[in-house]
Structure 1
Amino acid sequence: MTIDGAAVAAPATFGVINPATGEVAEQAPDASREQLDTAMAAAQAAYPAWRRDESARRKALLAAADVLFARSEEIGRILTLEQGKPLADGTMEVVGAGVWLKYFAELDLPREVIQDDDNAVVEVVRRPMGVVAAITPWNFPLLLAVWKIAPALLAGNTMVLKPSPFTPLSSLKLGEVLRDVLPPGVLNVVTGGDELGAWMTAHNTPRKISFTGSVATGKRVAAAAAPDLKRVTLELGGNDPAILLDDADPAAVAPKLFGGAFQNNGQVCSAIKRVYVPEALYGDVVDALAEQAKAVKVGNGMEEGVQYGPINNRPQYERVSELVADALAGGARAAAGGRPIDGPGYFFEPTILADIADGARIVDEEQFGPALPIIKYTDLDEALARANGTHFGLSGSVWSADADRAAEVAAELECGTAWVNTHLALAPHQPFGGFKWSGVGVENGPWGLYGFTEMQVIHRSKH
């Protein structure tokens, strides 16, 4: 682990499984409560000097970006080993993390003058909060860590980071490679299971908790933060709809729909999770998506030419298997896939489910895996009502030959991001967050940066 700028072993370890084999690949440190206390104390001690020197913070973030660019393939291999995604995707995730660091290193920290007259000069400034506790998921372990690290550190906060116990190795490596770039205590990386996360959220040092993960855990984080009035950003799940309008071209949109649903093997919170298709286009869309699913190469991410790896962990593999089996038992048809892939590892066939409707669990819940239900509709208002009729509200998309018409429909979606003729178009300057149970607050852009600050009014009287 990285605590106060030094490499620290833990009193115990836990196994990290390679999802392509189902076997333990490495051991990771299992932090003790005392080590967490030490990490929090280190972050608190580093805070005063770190927050006072904005120029040094920017230089450090740029240097951190350069380290990730230079070592992207090395870290990418670690990421693929523990996460399962193809090596090219693992390497690109590290590069993307560097892009995010560079963006925030160059982002303005505004001071707004709201009054300047004979009476007073009044400024609104953004101040850091102190120590931030960050808890990150297993689907994009490095990128989503940097979504928190970059704005939090630019704002002048210090951090204790805990990655998912399914994918701790890349974050441990991140802590290691940044020890020479960041002052001791500014970024501490500790690893462990759910108990460590609970200790972090209840700890009296952090002033903010930034969490990405499931709705159920997000609610527990919010409850743990409430007694201390800790600020929270919660980026939670999604059940993102894609709605095709009646003028959409099935052959043209199918590859984009497939990419928007199956990126990272469907393990993306804002990926397409269900597709609503007009009755007249239904058969053609199902066939086109099934053709895509049957053509892709699934396998060990370390192998050449693999497009999709395994599901990351056994609980998620079992959940996807269960939801697909439930759909098939309820009368749905597997136009492609529908089964686990024989052999070691957590592999599942890319699956397109037809002849299915709202009410099926895989339509109503977030599957977070390589299975996509295609739902028929006859009335657009009804399709919109069904798309919005969920506790989730992360993102969605509308597809049409008429982009203006699609944009009007997209504006009716109850979600944080509504795309037109695309999906999963994410960028560092673009705010990302959800409505309803999909989260609290946003990440990315200046808005994400502001989430790691408190507003302070500085009022200078002229009398």
Structure 2
Amino acid sequence: MTHYALLIDGQLHPGKQDDEVLDPATEQVVGYAARASQAQVDAAVNAAHNAFTGWAANPQARRTALALAASVLRENSQSLAELISREQGRPLRFTLGEVAGAAATFDYYAHFEAPGAEILRDDEQRRASIERRPLGVVAAITPWNVPIILLVLKLAPALHAGNTVVAKPSEHTPLSTLLLGQLLKDVFPAGVLNIVAGDGEVGEQLSSHPLVRHITFTGSVATGKRLYAGAASDLKRLTLELGGNDAALVLEDADIPAIAETLFWGAFWNSGQVCFAIKRLYVHESLFQPLIDALVARAEKTRLGHGLDAQTELGPLTNRQQLERVKALVADARKHGAVIHSGGDQPEGPGYFFAPTIVSGIGAGVALVDEEQFGPVLPVIPFSDVEDAIRQANASPYGLGASVWTRDIARGEAIARRLDAGLAWVNQHLEVQPGAPKGGYKWSGLGYEGGLRGYEAFSDLQVLNVARPVV
């Protein structure tokens, strides 16, 4: 069984102990991840701190390394994608797409032209400009649902901007990230990229470390709040992409046969383990039953299985904790009178599988509607008045994504603009526009990731004033 090491200061290191990582489809051990000690976390941060000055001073070296990282990922895409499938559960065709997207992200930033200095004044007496400087050591803490692309979306812009990085993957899916560190060990100068694995204590140590200047985190609201609190004493910069409870509104003129498949995958892709997946579906009462029927038909023919099986459409939930949470939410919904139209239980056999589940008969006040389920369960709620649907969609502490489904594009856009969501769609969901920032309202996040606004989060402004000597 393979043991995966930490990457610290350009070298691979065993941890203080090894943690076994299970295949969620079989519950068998995939491999062992080194767990970093407190001393190793300190060593990683110190290595990043020591490497910062030289890395920040050489933009051409940064571009070259990012381009090489893209090539290395492409050369090793099969092995990396298979490992993601085995530890996370998603079908291989999707994890291959994840690795391809990560390589494309490295390539994008290898050729990215950051905006130059903004000149405020330039005359015989004075020159004043606004310039950007890298922050220093960035801690990148990533989740288990899409582990490699979500890390590279942080790594590539942070490194391009001149920062150095200490990355910490989720303890549920650390192997692919540790393998990434092994593959990139000789791509970046020693100390520029460090990867340490372990439980929440490692993340908390990074968030409070005095040499870490920026924390970029994707994950749960609860963990985000703890990181926010841990960073407060040192006033660290933060980017937090947190949970969502995305609403989709299907208006009375929607074409059900045309949209049912897209709606289904907007909710159930990656077994619902997507922060901005559809998690509440509000449907005009005139279309309620036809849409229920269409979604149930799609759910019942969906093929569950191991990620390495070419026939699989949905894999398992990634860990037992998430499976138990989904089961508890469905059980609670039943107690509140929910109608289970499909699925509703765990199939027999090994693995953390849960059949795609369509639920009706519940609304606000029930946990399955009010909270983020992060699993293959979709509550469908009828409405008669679109104003009431908008109110219900916005009556949430979350505000990551939302969508409107209608044949009237202008009306759909007008309604989408009224939804409390950082990502809004009309007749689509989950699509992320290249170059667009990604962030959420309310509890769904702080700051932005992606695009120019996300890139700028990895630097501080400096206003440079120069007085020219009088001749």
The TM-score, its normalising length taken from structure 2, stands at 0.97
For residues 62-461 of structure 1, the aligned pairs below 5 Å read 62-110=67-115, 111-461=117-467
Q: Which moved more, 1:43-52 or 1:319-328?
A: 319-328
Instruction: Give the conservation status (yes or no) of the 8 Å contact 1:66–1:98.
Output: yes
Which amino acid in the other structure matches residue 213 of structure 1? G
Q: Which moved more, 1:15-24 or 1:213-222?
A: 15-24
3-state SS of 2:443 partner: helix
Q: Quick one: distance in 1 between partners of 2:364 and 2:296?
A: 20
Aligned to 1:2: 7
Which amino acid in the other structure matches residue 288 of structure 2? Y
Which amino acid in the other structure matches residue 51 of structure 2? A
Q: Quick one: distance in 2 between partners of 1:226 and 1:150?
A: 26
Segments of 5+ residues of structure 1 without an aligned counterpart are none
Q: Quick one: distance in 2 between partners of 1:84 and 1:441?
A: 30
Instruction: Give the conservation status (yes or no) of the 8 Å contact 1:109–1:126.
Output: no
Q: Quick one: distance in 1 between partners of 2:331 and 2:136?
A: 48
* CA shift digits 1:427-450 (9 cap, x unpaired): 441110000000100000111110
Q: Which moved more, 1:64-73 or 1:111-120?
A: 111-120
Instruction: Give the conservation status (yes or no) of the 8 Å contact 1:107–1:446.
Output: no
3-state SS of 2:153 partner: helix
3-state SS of 1:207 partner: strand
Q: Quick one: distance in 2 between partners of 1:179 and 1:302?
A: 27
The percentage of aligned residue pairs carrying the same residue is 48
3-state SS of 2:398 partner: coil
The TM-score, its normalising length taken from structure 1, stands at 0.98
* CA shift digits 1:252-303 (9 cap, x unpaired): 1111111111111100000000110011110011111111111111111111
3-state SS of 1:108 partner: coil
Which amino acid in the other structure matches residue 77 of structure 2? S
Segments of 5+ residues of structure 2 without an aligned counterpart are 1-5
- TM-superposed CA distance for 1:457, in Å, is 1.1
Aligned to 1:15: 20
Aligned-residue RMSD, C-alpha: 1.0
Q: Quick one: distance in 2 between partners of 1:243 and 1:144?
A: 28
Q: Quick one: distance in 2 between partners of 1:223 and 1:430?
A: 28
Q: Quick one: distance in 2 between partners of 1:338 and 1:249?
A: 27
- TM-superposed CA distance for 1:320, in Å, is 0.5
- TM-superposed CA distance for 1:42, in Å, is 0.6
Query: Given the superposition, is the C-alpha separation of residues 170 and 427 from structure 1 closer, same or farther in structure 2, using an over 3 Å criterion?
Result: farther
Structure 1 runs (4+) greater than 3 angstroms displaced: none
Q: Quick one: distance in 2 between partners of 1:415 and 1:264?
A: 21
Aligned to 2:3: none
3-state SS of 2:403 partner: strand
- TM-superposed CA distance for 1:8, in Å, is 0.7
Q: Quick one: distance in 2 between partners of 1:462 and 1:244?
A: 63
Q: Quick one: distance in 1 between partners of 2:467 and 2:65?
A: 36
Which amino acid in the other structure matches residue 12 of structure 1? Q
